Amino acid sequence: MKPQVTVITLGVRNLDTSYRFYAQALGWEPLVYVPDEVAFFQVGHGLVLSLFRGDHLAAEAGNIGHGPIAPPLTLGHNVDSPDEVDVILQTVVNAGAELIAEGTAMSWGGYSGYFADPDGFHWEVCHNPGLVVTEDGTVSLREIV
């Protein structure tokens, strides 16, 4: 098995609410939207974010851990500057997201903050000056001095 991820699926409680958040509030262009079933968004080179009804996902994949909080994971969105982190955090909060942590200078040299989407999935918005993504999608890390 190749070390790659091509689809990240979030089991959501209300597909319409989640779709509106990602498509309308964040302005992401859907690849596919089937009301009351699934939505796909291309979120990177060869990577799709899938919003799938949580009850349907549980029927296919078993208990997905939806309870009072979302499963213990975060999704990351790396940007070009600390200012961009703050702008995005404000934009998503204005669109209805919950601010989890304001943008903060991190001990490792970056800057990040967190928000939760309508289902409680946590997103880190991060400026990591050591993360390099090339045009072909290759990722490398360089030491931050």
Q: Give the model confidence (pLDDT) of 1-46 as tens digits.
A: 778 788 999 989 999 999 999 999 899 999 999 999 999 999 988 8
pLDDT surpasses 90 at 113: yes
* Whether the predicted pLDDT of 131 surpasses 90: no
Q: What are phi and psi of 34, to 5 degrees?
A: -115, 105
Stated pTM of the model: 0.81
pLDDT at 66 over 60: no
pLDDT bracket for residue 135 (50, 70, 90): confident
**What does each C-alpha distance from 70 to 50, 60, 133 come to in angstroms?**
16, 18, 28
- SS3 label, residue 110: coil
pLDDT in tens, 43-57: 988 889 999 998 888
Q: Quickly list H helices, the chain.
A: 15-19, 54-61, 82-94
pLDDT of residue 64: 63
The whole-angstrom separation of Cα 127 and Cα 125 is 7
